[in-house]
């Protein structure tokens, strides 16, 4: 996967490639630009098949993905897992660029009309709020299944703080659960979509990391792309009670007003 990313990066940063418009087929990801994309839920073909991004936009996104997302992981198989999410992340970029989502151009810092962030507790929180949620650490009072342990509602409207409201400002791609508890506490997860449909229990054993900061990973069978009015609920099965530090692992695409205030 790294070779594919490097190949794309080298192509789009050339002077002749920076301003060229590329669709997903141009980037040689036909498994994304299809009616049944591999490893992605839901089908997104109708939303992205006519969307293009310039070489500059794609280079900016690869810089973000490799430096802000992948480099957080321990070198070795865990970093390779993070790299393997790239096709879904790229699909998320094109989905966010579509006119029925955020629209406009992508760019980091003061560039573009929307940007990317590693999914944060502020985003993965559906209640009305006026300040940031500072920590993921929480207490698990019941071992076994905890319903709706995670709730992401991108249709959330925050009265009085329009820059912080999720609806219209945020798209997201969720890859799985990162369990920062040592030893790991997550046994399984059940994602549930906007319509309340269960997307399948993820029973895969946690992939253990080598440090307490990144202790384990439960990748979802398919990366879940969330539109600007979508929601995601995740039931989590814990092997014991106590203090836990699981987080949703993913990327958010946010409009610049949201990005600035975050």
Decide if 173 contacts 224 (C-beta within 8 A).
yes
The confidence score (pLDDT) of residue 216 equals: 82
pLDDT tens-place string over residues 52-81: 999 999 999 999 999 999 988 877 777 888
Average pLDDT over residues 23-47: 76
In terms of Cβ atoms closer than 10 Å to its own Cβ (0-12, 13-18, 19+), residue 236 is buried
The Cα 10–Cα 51 span in angstroms is: 21
Identify the DSSP state of 237: E
User: Where does 11-83 show beta strands of DSSP type E?
Assistant: 21-22, 40-41, 53-54
pLDDT tens-place string over residues 169-202: 899 999 999 888 888 889 999 999 999 999 999 8
Chain CA centroid to CA 237, Å: 21
Q: Which residue bears the tokens 């046994």?
A: 187
Indicate the pTM of the whole model: 0.90
Q: How many helices (H) and strands (E) does the chain have?
A: 6, 13
Confidence of residue 262 (pLDDT cuts 50, 70, 90): low
Decide if 74 contacts 209 (C-beta within 8 A).
yes
The Cα 203–Cα 223 span in angstroms is: 15
Q: Of 199, 188, 194, which Cα lies nearest the Cα of 228? A: 194
Q: Of 121, 84, 58, 71, which Cα lies nearest the Cα of 252? A: 121
């Amino acid at each position: 996967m790294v070779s594919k990313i490097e190949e794309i990066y080298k192509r789009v940063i050339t002077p002749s490639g920076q301003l060229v418009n590329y669709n997903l087929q141009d980037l040689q990801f036909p498994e994304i630009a299809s009616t049944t994309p591999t490893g992605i839920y839901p089908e997104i073909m109708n939303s992205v098949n006519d969307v293009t991004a310039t070489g500059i936009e794609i280079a900016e996104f690869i810089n973000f993905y490799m430096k802000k997302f992948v480099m957080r992981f321990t070198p070795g198989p865990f970093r390779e897992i993070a790299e393997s999410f790239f096709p879904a992340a790229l699909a998320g970029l094109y989905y966010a660029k579509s006119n029925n989502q955020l629209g406009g151009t992508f760019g980091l810092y003061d560039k573009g009309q929307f940007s990317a962030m590693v999914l944060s507790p502020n985003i993965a929180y559906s209640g009305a709020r006026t300040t940031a949620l500072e920590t993921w650490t929480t207490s698990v009072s019941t071992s076994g299944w905890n319903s709706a342990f995670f709730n992401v509602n991108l249709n959330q409207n925050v009265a009085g703080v329009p820059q912080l409201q999720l609806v219209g400002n945020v798209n997201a791609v969720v890859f799985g659960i990162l369990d920062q508890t040592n030893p790991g506490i997550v046994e399984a997860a059940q994602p549930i979509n906007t319509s309340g449909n269960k997307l399948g229990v993820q029973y895969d054993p946690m992939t253990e990391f080598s440090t307490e900061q990144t202790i384990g990973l439960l990748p979802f069978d398919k990366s879940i792309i969330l539109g600007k009015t979508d929601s995601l609920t995740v039931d989590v099965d814990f092997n014991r009670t106590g203090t836990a530090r699981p987080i949703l692992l993913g990327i958010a695409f946010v409009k610049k007003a949201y990005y600035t205030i975050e």
